[in-house]
Structure 1
């Protein structure tokens, strides 16, 4: 039996993690969990405190652990701004015998600004000011990871995901 796979999408608000993670989950037939949805379920009117963030990541990672333990592939979509949260995701994958891949989604500043300012029905509450603040405090990714540049078209992004992530997974 093949090992389950955990794919952790991380990056700043507005870079396109949700589009990339949705595509990946669909292609793999994986379960997908978004921190924005988990947070809103736990805190319908969130204040974005550190306590809420801890509870959100605890729930998000708990859902991943359950599915991975059952042999289901999982795609997580969150900023994973802090190294401790990324470390916990890797530890969970190790504990349940899953493969783990981190994918950092990046995007040109002007594209992020346009995307955030044109959102109309997004579950995310992030504004461009939060993007700028988080950019200053985002812990560097010091683990092996893939980088997807989501500055261009959706087709360009999907092609990057296909080449860097999905083709290697299909051959395992």
Structure 2
């Protein structure tokens, strides 16, 4: 994110999309550009802190997002910028993030990452030592459950190389 038009203040950037589309690649690219050393919070990491053996149930989803928003709130309260990487398949979570940013006077941006399904399948199959344990079945389930985005967002297609994606992110956001 570029600096706010008024010259300062924290930012909250939510990077959302289905498992395996490359949200983390996009989120890391954004985090590198947010002024003030923004933290990157991933729901995959929060999930491991909150749930021992994930089943991706609605109760787990609620617990993970409650903890995530608690962490975001604390950072924004300190005037720190935050980039969040998660599916945000529920509109209420995207709205909650926007409202939390507003409560702290932070700039809010929503970035949706998309990717060709064949590329997603290959990326998920190739994962090793990744914080995400979502497999292709979780991808398909979340694809059915992902609620439409009805607020302004930037869409990044991450079907190509990492270099192409980084260039796309920079062109779209900076």
Secondary structure (helix, strand or coil) at the match of 2:12 reads: strand
Picking from 157, 160, 164, the partner of 1:149 is: 157
Task: Tell me, yes or no, if structure 1 residue 139 matches structure 2 residue 153.
Answer: no
- Partner Cα separation in structure 2 for residue 69 and residue 152 of structure 1: 37
Pairwise CA distance, 1:40: 0.3
Secondary structure (helix, strand or coil) at the match of 1:12 reads: coil
Number of positions where the alignment pairs a residue of Structure 1 with one of Structure 2: 166
- 2:14: which partner in 1? 8
- 2:51: which partner in 1? 43
TM-score w.r.t. the length of structure 1 is 0.93
Unaligned ranges ≥5, structure 2: 1-6
Aligned-residue RMSD, C-alpha:
1.1
- 1:170: which partner in 2? none
Task: Tell me, yes or no, if structure 1 residue 20 matches structure 2 residue 47.
Answer: no
Pairwise mapping of residues 22-101 of structure 1 onto structure 2 (< 5 A)? 22-28=28-34, 29-101=37-109
- Partner Cα separation in structure 1 for residue 112 and residue 136 of structure 2: 19
Pairwise CA distance, 1:128: 0.8
Q: By percentage of residues, which structure has more helix?
A: 1
Over residues 68-116 of structure 1, what are the superposed CA-to-partner deviations in whole Å (9 max), with x where a residue is unaligned?
1211110000000000111100110011110100000000111001000
Over residues 129-163 of structure 1, what are the superposed CA-to-partner deviations in whole Å (9 max), with x where a residue is unaligned?
11112111110110000000000011111111111
Pairwise CA distance, 1:49: 2.0
Stretches (4+) displaced over 3 A: none
- Partner Cα separation in structure 2 for residue 38 and residue 115 of structure 1: 22
Over residues 37-71 of structure 1, what are the superposed CA-to-partner deviations in whole Å (9 max), with x where a residue is unaligned?
00101113223221111011011111111111211
Secondary structure (helix, strand or coil) at the match of 1:41 reads: helix
